[in-house]
Structures are given as C-alpha cells and as structure tokens.
C-alpha cells in the first residue's frame, strides 16, 4: 500500500496538528488556571470609567457581573460584541450586569471604536490589575463574578453560543 502526500493532505495534517497544539498547550493550561481562580474575591480591584475615574468592582456587588474583555483590533471580539448587545437588556432584567473591559487601548481609541460599533453596554479600561488577577492572556474572554464579588467562571475565545450561555447557564 502506497501513501501519497498531496498538498491538501499536508494542509489537513498541519491543521490537525495546530488544533492539537492549541488545545494541549494553550487552552488546557488557561482552563486549569481559570479553575483555580474560582472563589477569588475581586471586590477591591479597580478599573477606570470613560473619564479616567477609578471604579471598584465592589460597586457591582448584589448583581452577577459579566465582564467581557475585548480590543478594537480583535476580529473575534468584533463578532462577539453584536451578540452581547443583543442580550444586554435581557441580562439587565435578570439582575445581571454586563460590562466591557478593554485591557490595553487608550480611551480615545475605545471611544472611536464604541461609536463605530454602537456598543450598548458600559465599557471600562483596565489599569492592568484586573487582567493580571484573572490571568487574561487571550481575548475575547468572559469572566463571571457572583453577587458577592467572587470569581465564578472564566471562558476564553469567541463563542457563537454566548447568548445562551449567559442567559440560561449563568
């Protein structure tokens, strides 16, 4: 039996290898670290509002806080934002607060992007503390904080099912 290596077969082998690498060396370690963060208190962590004023996450106590980490250059983030916009009113009705957090860009860049995309939920800037505490290395990412300010879950990457996840499973 002869085994021929065609170009398309090599592409498939490379793609499968890349997926195995991503799952084994990126997603699994991130998931393991995220699991260890469950129950960590984030009440005293500070982010910035659009005017540069400090906002403590304790401000959101009493509601489930859903934090979407995004950036304007991130294509999967651009795909996820309309999905989040679509469920923002329903989340609010269920006593869940959705906020966007940009971990790296200037307020001017955030404002420009927000006007272009019509983000309907509040957007904050991270001073680096929140991303570091939650080990956010991949965006988009969603962190769910319970009513007491404790980490409940962290998920990474674009999820087409994000609406169902946030409305029914959280």
pLDDT score recorded for residue 150: 93
Q: Do the strands 54-56 and 46-48 form a parallel or antiparallel pair, or are they unpaired?
A: antiparallel
Nearest alpha-carbon partner for 120 in 152, 89, 164: 89
Question: Both 104 and 129 in a single domain?
Answer: yes
Section 102-118 average pLDDT: 91
More confident position, 7 or 162: 162
Burial label for 166, CB within 10 Å (0-12, 13-18, 19+), is: buried
Same domain, 66 and 2: no
Give me the pLDDT at residue 165, please. 83
pLDDT score at 153: 87
Q: What is the pLDDT of residues 31-62, one digit of tens each?
A: 666 666 777 888 899 999 999 999 999 999 99
Mean pLDDT of 66-76: 94
Tokens of 25: 């060396």
Same domain flag for 14 and 86: no
Residue 104's CATH number? 3.40.30.10
Q: How far apart are CA 4 and CA 108, in angstroms?
A: 55
20 confidence band (pLDDT: 50, 70, 90): low
Handedness of CA 149, 160, 141, 26 (dihedral sign): positive
Q: Number of folded domains in the chain?
A: 2
Nearest CA to 67 out of 126, 137, 128 is that of 126
Residue 76 pLDDT > 70, yes or no?
yes
Q: Are residues 145 and 64 part of one domain?
A: yes
- Quick check: 108 pLDDT over 90? yes
Average pLDDT for residues 59-86, to the nearest whole number? 94
Residues 165 and 89 in one domain: yes
Same domain for 112 and 56, yes or no, is: yes
Which residue did the predictor score with more confidence, 26 or 157?
157
Residues 87, 21: one domain? Answer: no
pLDDT of 27 above 70: no
User: Residue 151 contacts by C-beta under 8 Å, 6 or more apart in sequence?
Assistant: 37, 38, 39, 40, 42, 134, 143, 144, 145
Residues 80 and 154 in one domain: yes
Q: Is residue 17 located within the same domain as residue 60?
A: no
For residue 2, give its domain range: 1-36
128 and 163 part of one domain? yes
Average pLDDT over residues 122-133: 92
């Amino acid at each position: 039996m002869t085994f021929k290596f065609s170009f398309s077969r090599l592409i498939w082998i490379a793609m499968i290898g890349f997926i195995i690498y991503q799952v084994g060396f990126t997603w699994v370690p991130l998931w393991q670290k995220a699991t260890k963060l469950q129950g960590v208190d984030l009440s005293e962590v500070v982010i910035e509002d659009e005017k540069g004023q400090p906002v403590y996450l304790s401000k959101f106590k009493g509601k489930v806080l859903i934090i979407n980490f995004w950036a304007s250059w991130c294509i999967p983030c651009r795909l996820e934002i309309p999905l989040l916009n679509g469920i923002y009113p329903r989340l609010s009705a269920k006593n869940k607060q959705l906020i966007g957090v940009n971990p790296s860009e200037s307020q001017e860049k955030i404002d420009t992007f927000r006007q272009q995309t019509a983000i309907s939920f509040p957007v904050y800037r991270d001073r680096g503390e929140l991303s570091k505490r939650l080990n956010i290395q991949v965006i988009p990412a969603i962190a769910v904080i319970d009513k007491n300010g404790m980490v409940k879950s962290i998920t990474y990457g674009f999820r087409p099912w994000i609406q169902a996840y946030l409305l029914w499973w959280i």
